[in-house]
Structure 1
Amino acid sequence: MAYDTYKIIDILISNISEMSEVQSIGICGSKRSFPRAGEGDIDIFIYCDIVPSPEKRQAILNQLGNHVQEVKVNIFEEGHWGIGDFVLINGIETWLMYFTVNETVTDVESILSGKYPDKLDNYYYPIGRCAMLKNINILYDKSNFLDNLKKRLSKYPDKLGKILIQYHLDELDDTEDLERAVVRKDVLFYHFAMDIAVDHFLQALFAINKVYFPSRKRTLDFIENFNIKPEGCNEKLLEVIRLGGLSEEIDHSFSIWSNMVNELKKLSNIGEINSPSSL
């Protein structure tokens, strides 16, 4: 009998939760709206006192039998994404990422203190971990670890906002590469420099609006709902990119960009005024 994805995930979560080391399990996105095969993957985050051994995790996955098409244990170890196992469920790539409770708490507190104001290797945004945990859907929470963590993250720290805003606005002041690309009308170099600049712009904008920056995905949707942003922000960002692809329009692109950055700097003061501690 073929099981649907929802039932297999339910069985998988139930089996994982039976391991004594496991404290909490959460999933990114909806608990009941999974992607179709080839349209996305399923990310499941598992928080433990200590991560169960590979043999123990393999035994748990083996219980799924022929309800899954592929199982791999220890696909990756340590790093930003913990210890990872892989399961193919009805053609959907499903990632099981194991972390210890202690390392997660330490990591979150370091991020909230402003220790990691920018992305790290391979476009990993530490602040994105806070965004994920704040919005994670809880599937199992034996000791309320995830529930308490979500409460901890519910209020965006003013100190963090100030650190991130200042850091990224300072980075936006470095326009040497952009100016050089404009003078040379070098489209590829301009896009290289602009990608870096846009990254700092977005992170500053999110911090001004007191929203944890998740990643570069779906940023236009987020910006659409922001109260504090340069006028016509989405449209102008797209125009900067479009015009930057034409050598004869690079200077126009840079002019729009410079005005947006100047407006963002002015808006950063509004963000401070509107912070809860300032009211």
Structure 2
Amino acid sequence: MSVLALKDELVTILASCDKMKGIGQTGSLDARLVPGKSDIDLFVLCSEIPTQEERQACYAMLQSADFTVQMELCNGGQWGYGDVIVTEGIAIMPMYFTITEMQEYLEEVLECKHLEKDGRFYPVGRLASVSTINVLYEENDTWTILKNMVNRKSRSFFQTWFENEMRQALDEEDLGRAELRKEVLFFHQVLENALDHLLQALYAMNECYFPSRKRTKLAIDTFDIKPDQCYKRLMKMILNGASEDTMDKAIEDLHNMTQEIYDLADAKFHKNDFE
């Protein structure tokens, strides 16, 4: 596909610029690309953020495919300074960060200073991205140093993260209201919050950074520590929660699974089996 040729050409051009010190791609390099449904995310580490003009000059050198460019779809923050290059219906998004801001943010997440979801962004998801990022270019081991830092997983981080999620998993007041009133839509709001926190707790128990809600079943299937028939029970919980006639069963199952996760974590975190 010409999109891959364009990506490779872009990486080569960016790597030749003085301010660019490392380029990494998240996800699988072999992932199937579907026009209109797929994209390629490139995390570009810089000594300083190149200006719009400097980035546009780089894009103007691309010759391997026809493309369009949208500048600064992101303008700093969680996704850096992000531009979008589209070819064949597939977006290539280079996101520019300074090395300093990326390193400091990762350190702060590892220190449990950013555990709460911000909109649809999970700070721990940034750890997940960096831990498995595919290094396409780096100067002076720029990406390798950050990957190694993130992959030195500590017991204290996972235990603190686990406890933070479990504290927020069950809103007993709202669960009681939903059960009393048989309000299915309200219950789904309460259940969504509970499942989001319980899933993150499952990841924490298994020393795995939570990337997002995508591919949850694949992750759960690989976990060594989990409630029996975990994924099947989660699906049943959602199904039962869709009817006022079976909502009580969903709430009961939610309480049971929450307690099982607590019990599993108690055994896990009181062993010296991960440091």
Alignment TM-score, normalising by the size of structure 2 = 0.96
Number of the residue aligned with 1:183? 180
Number of the residue aligned with 1:69? 67
- Measured after TM superposition, the shift of residue 270 of structure 1 is 2.3
* 187-196 or 176-185, larger mean C-alpha shift: 176-185
Task: Summarize the Cα distance change of 1:219–1:144 in structure 2 as closer, same or farther, 3 Å threshold.
Answer: same
**What secondary structure is seen at the aligned counterpart in 1 of 2:245?**
helix
Moved over 3 A (4+): 273-278
Is there any run of 5+ residues in structure 2 with no aligned partner, and where? Answer: none
- Measured after TM superposition, the shift of residue 257 of structure 1 is 1.0
- Measured after TM superposition, the shift of residue 31 of structure 1 is 2.9
- Measured after TM superposition, the shift of residue 273 of structure 1 is 3.7
Number of the residue aligned with 1:145? 142
1:222-243 deviation per Cα after TM superposition (whole angstroms, max 9, x unaligned)? 0111000011110000000011
Match of 2:99 among 75, 98, 101: 101
* 125-134 or 36-45, larger mean C-alpha shift: 36-45
One-letter amino acid of the structure 1 residue matched with residue 139 of structure 2: K
2-structure distance, mates of 1:261, 1:187? 21
One-letter amino acid of the structure 1 residue matched with residue 108 of structure 2: S
- Measured after TM superposition, the shift of residue 34 of structure 1 is 4.9
- Measured after TM superposition, the shift of residue 8 of structure 1 is 1.4
1:4-39 deviation per Cα after TM superposition (whole angstroms, max 9, x unaligned)? 222211111000111100110000123344512123
1-structure distance, mates of 2:30, 2:68? 22
Number of paired residues?
275
Query: Does 2:40 correspond to 1:42?
Result: yes
1-structure distance, mates of 2:139, 2:31? 24
2-structure distance, mates of 1:167, 1:43? 30
- Measured after TM superposition, the shift of residue 274 of structure 1 is 4.6
Number of the residue aligned with 2:208? 211
2-structure distance, mates of 1:88, 1:123? 23
Alignment of 1:117-266 (within 5 A): 117-120=115-118, 122-266=119-263
1-structure distance, mates of 2:44, 2:272? 34
Number of the residue aligned with 2:2? 4
**Percent of aligned pairs with the same amino acid:** 32
Alignment TM-score, normalising by the size of structure 1 = 0.94
